Amino acid sequence: MIKARVTVTLKSGVLDPQGKAIEHALSGLGFAGVDQVRQGKVFDLELAGSDRIKTEADLKAMCEKLLANTVIEDYAIVLA
């Protein structure tokens, strides 16, 4: 079994209205100095098998086909 974490974030230059709302909310809660909040999503996966190279290739395919909108999002894969 291989564990993996995929982090998906908006590409730089893409507007992030949810991040801006979080930034504004943090300021309203008294957290001064918070600037440029960008939000994203995290996927924790457990994959059968032990071939890390094949698993990483499969994860890249998953990101390209479903987990990330590669037009506006970047992704990073970390195998545990």
pLDDT on residue 30: 96
User: Which residues constitute the domain of residue 37?
Assistant: 2-79
Distance CA 72, CA 11 (A): 6
Please give the angle made by the CA atoms of 49, 52 and 57, to the nearest 5 degrees.
100
Which tokens in the block code for residue 54? 């094949």
Report how many domains make up the chain: 1
The one-digit pLDDT tens for each residue of the chain (80 residues) are 999 999 999 999 999 999 999 999 999 999 999 999 999 999 999 999 999 999 999 999 999 999 999 999 999 999 99
pLDDT on residue 8: 98
Give the torsion through C-alpha atoms of 80, 57, 55, 62, to 10 deg: 90
Distance CA 55, CA 59 (A): 6
Residue 36's CATH number: 3.30.1280.10
